[in-house]
Amino acid sequence: MEEPFRGRRDAFLRKVRRRPAVMGILNVTPDSFFDGGQFQTIEGATLHAKKLVADGCDIVDIGAESTRPGAVPVSEAEELARVEPILSALARRLDAPLSIDTTKARVAARALACGAIAVNDVGGLQRDAAMADVVAAAEALIVIVHNRAEKDESIDIIPDIRAFFDRSLTLADKAGIARERIILDPGIGFAKTSRQNRDAVARLGELKDYRLPIMVGVSRKSFLGSLMDGNPEASLIGTVAANLAAAARGAAIFRVHDVAEHVAALKVFHAIRGTS
C-alpha cells in the first residue's frame, strides 16, 4: 500500500477507536436494491462520493456487484470493468479513504492497487481462497462479514456467527493479517430471517470478547419494513433506530446510504453516552 493511502488507513482506524464511524455506500451497479443504476458513470459516482464525504462519512465503500437476495452474479471481468475506472478516479479526486465491497480476490487486489485501503468481504474470507493473502500482502483492512449458504430459521444465529468468525479469523491468522486491521460484521440481511436479523443487532454485545471493531449494515433493508407494517416510507427512520440500537450494544462502524442523518444521530448518541 502506497504511503498516502497507508496514512488514510491509519487515520480511519484512529477514528474508529475514538467515536462511531460512518461508511457511506456507493453502488456502481445496475441492480442494487436501493440505488441501483444511479452512479455507474465516473462523474455520477464522483458527485455522489463527494456528497457522502461532505455529509460527514469517514470512508466510502464502493461495490460493483449487488449482494441483494436474488441478484444475478457477475463475472470477475465485468466487476472489474465497472469498478476499476471509478475507484481509480475517486482515489485521485477524493480526500477520503475508500473501501471495495467484493468477494473476489482479484477484484480486491486491483482495487487496493488503485488506492482502496479496505476490503469489505461478504464472503468473510471463506468464498475466495486467495482473498486473505491479497489483504495481507497489501496490509489492508478487512471487514469479515458473516454469511450463510441459505436461511435456517431453526438455528440460534449468534453461535452460528461466532463459529463463522472463528473460521475466518483462523484464515486471517494463517495469511498474516494483523489483528488490528480486522473488523467484524454480523451480516444483517445475509441469509437470515427477520427474527435472526433482530437477534443479531440485539445481541451484538455477545461479540465484544473478540475485542475487534464491529460494523453493522442495516441500511434500508427489508426486515426493517416488516417491523413497521411494511411501510417503505419509514425505512430511513427504521434504519436510524436500528443503528442506534446497535451503537448502544457496541457497534463502532455503520454502513449507510443516508450519511448526514446518521452522522447527526450518532453525534448526539456519542455525546450523551460520553456524559453518562
Active site members: 221, 255
Total Cβ atoms within 10 A of residue 51: 14
229-250: b (≥16 Cβ within 10 Å) or e: eeeeeebbebbbbbbbbbbebe
Helical packing angle, 76-93 and 105-114, nearest 10°:
20
In angstroms, the CA 147 to CA 117 distance is 22
Matching residue, cell 463463522: 164
2-32: b (≥16 Cβ within 10 Å) or e: eeebeebbeebbebbeeebbbbbbbbbbeeb
